[in-house]
Amino acid sequence: MQTSQSSSSEEIPGSVMDQRKRKRMLSNRESARRSRMRKQQHLDELINQVAHLKNENSQIETQADMLNQQFLIVDSENCALRSEVMELTERLRSMNSVLEFVGEFSGMMMDIQEIPDPLLKPWQLPCPTQPLMFQY
- Indicate the burial class of 43 (C-beta count within 10 angstroms; 0-12, 13-18, 19 or more): exposed
**Which tens digits make up the pLDDT trace of 15-25?**
888 899 999 99
pLDDT at 60 exceeding the cut of 80: yes
Residues 30, 69: Cα–Cα separation, whole Å? 58
Q: Is 50 exceeded by the pLDDT of residue 136?
A: no
Question: Rounded to an integer, what distance in angstroms lies between the CA atom of residue 94 and that of residue 86?
Answer: 12
Of residues 132 and 59, more confidently modeled: 59
Mean pLDDT within 64-70: 95
Question: How would residue 51 be classed by pLDDT, with cut points 50, 70 and 90?
Answer: very high
Question: What was the pLDDT predicted at 130?
Answer: 45
pLDDT at 124: 53
Q: H or E segment at 54?
A: helix 14-106
Task: Identify whether the C-beta of residue 116 lies closer than 8 Å to the C-beta of residue 124.
Answer: yes
pLDDT reading at 42 higher than 80? yes
